[in-house]
Amino acid sequence: MHNTGHNHPAIIAALKEELDRSGPAMLQSHVPQLAAQLAQRLSQLAGGQLERVFFTNSGSEGVETAIKFSRAHTRRDGLLYADGAFHGLTCGALSLMSDPFWHEGFGPMLPGTQGIRFGDLGELEKHLATRKFAAFIVEPVQSEGGIRIPDPSYLPAAQELCRRHGTLFVLDEVQTGMYRTGPFLAAHHFQVEPDMVILAKALSGGLIPVGAVLMSEAVGDSVFSSLKRAIVHASTFGENGLAMRAGLATLDVLEQARLGERGANMGASLRHRLTVALAPYEMVEAVRGLGMLSGIEFTAPRSLRIRIPFETFRRIHPALFGQILVMRLFRDKGMLTQICGNNFMVLKVAPPLVITELQMQEFVDAVRDVVDLMHNSNTFWSEALGLVRRVVDL
């Protein structure tokens, strides 16, 4: 969410100014001028038919909105999603995620949801043909799923199939939007015109909770079809002045510094440097990404010397190897990273779009050093095993 970097001074200044204005905050009956301005800019940047915007407080709430609006518009209940997706942890969004890890203990999920393989058009068409589905909700690049980039033909063909079968084509751009992959939306890479797009995270500079659902006029009108229904979907803090002001300031920063273009160029260079630096190591399977959203995929080693400790780790917990990597990068190198939530063998590389050449090189060197340690020194494994012994009863 830190596309503009941490605590950008221009966004902080805009927030202070907004507070000092003592404006008509949180009055659901006022005319939310800032929300209108932000909505207009978002819809112009998104293009296509995305002419209406509903503001939320998070990505998950955006997904809930997309679920309700697509049901209202199509008068169908079913919801299609891609296996490996991450859409959020509220009950509706959670029902669009296939991994049982996220469901356990939280009771029955929404009925009528169906997971399909990401990238499989045949499976998509088979389900669409039943005409039970209100929406196909999909990330253009699966982020938590392991930075999975679909074949260039997948999303345009999926959109075409959705149109043919009366199902809304909804893109979750919570991670990929706001210039993360280069253009304003990842949709722009694939030349698709979705019926709805969900944004959140970087929209307010990482400083204020916010989300936005962009949609066509027809979809918006099917929920807000009369004055009587004007409040059927709403949220107290939805259009609050601070989030809106932060959103406007964030767009100013992103546009003035042309951070999308910068991120695209720097991201390609980052992947090139990582690919070269990590080429000698057997556990590095791939470096891939789009714009400034990349991943380093690791794989089980073949050589016995490191295969044994790797398998021990995997048996304790499948995410353990990745967590040790993250811990080492943080403790030894001061680099804060994450493994993907739904793919524990992929290290996510998504720095702010303002990252400098020098910072990028420091990161590449740090990853190379830790990966080298993993391949060539017993301490990576033995020390980690010691740590694990303290918290897990081995």
Ligand X SMILES: Cc1ncc(COP(=O)(O)O)c(C=O)c1O
Rule CB under 6 A: which residues touch ligand X?
58-60, 63, 86-88, 139, 143-144, 172, 174-175, 200
- Is residue 99 flagged as an active site residue? no
In the complex with ligand X, the residue whose CB is nearer, 85 or 367, is 85
**CA 330 to CA 379: how far, in whole Å?**
16
Distance in Å, CB of 58 to ligand X, minimum: 4
- The candidate with the shortest Cα–Cα distance to 198, out of 34, 338, 85, 75, is 85
In the complex with ligand X, the residue whose CB is nearer, 174 or 251, is 174
Q: If you ran DSSP here, which 8-state letter would residue 204 be given?
A: G
- The candidate with the shortest Cα–Cα distance to 246, out of 278, 284, 193, 210, is 210
Distance in Å, CB of 378 to ligand X, minimum: 36
Count of alpha carbons within 13 angstroms of residue 220, beta-carbon side: 16
Q: Taking each helix axis from N to C terminus, what angle separates 378-391 and 320-333, rounded to the nearest 10 degrees?
A: 110
Active-site residue among 86, 118, 298, 313? 86
Distance in Å, CB of 62 to ligand X, minimum: 7
Buried b (16+ CB within 10 A) or exposed e, 165-189: bebbbbbbbbbbbbbbbbbbbbbbb
Tell me the DSSP string of 32-45. -HHHHHHHHHHHHH
In the complex with ligand X, the residue whose CB is nearer, 59 or 351, is 59
In the complex with ligand X, the residue whose CB is nearer, 186 or 284, is 186
Distance in Å, CB of 53 to ligand X, minimum: 17
Tell me the DSSP string of 253-277. HHHHTTHHHHHHHHHHHHHHHHHHH
Distance in Å, CB of 212 to ligand X, minimum: 11
Whether the Cβ atoms of residue 106 and residue 193 lie closer than 8 Å to each other: no
**What tokens were used for 143?**
């982020």
In the complex with ligand X, the residue whose CB is nearer, 68 or 333, is 68
Residue 350 CB contacts under 8 Å (≥ 6 apart), including other chains: 143, 175, 180, 292, 293, 294
Sign of CA dihedral 96, 142, 198, 224: negative
Whether the Cβ atoms of residue 133 and residue 76 lie closer than 8 Å to each other: yes
In the complex with ligand X, the residue whose CB is nearer, 147 or 360, is 147
User: In sequence order, what are the beta bridge partners of 346?
Assistant: 297
Active-site residue among 54, 69, 169, 172? 172
- 3-state SS class at 206: coil
Active-site residue among 195, 201, 310, 380? 201
**CA 158 to CA 305: how far, in whole Å?**
45
In the complex with ligand X, the residue whose CB is nearer, 86 or 224, is 86
Q: Which residue's Cβ lies closest to ligand X?
A: 59
- Is residue 68 flagged as an active site residue? no
Distance in Å, CB of 293 to ligand X, minimum: 11
- Is residue 237 flagged as an active site residue? no
**CA 333 to CA 345: how far, in whole Å?**
20
Distance in Å, CB of 356 to ligand X, minimum: 26
Q: Which residues are catalytic?
A: 86, 172, 201
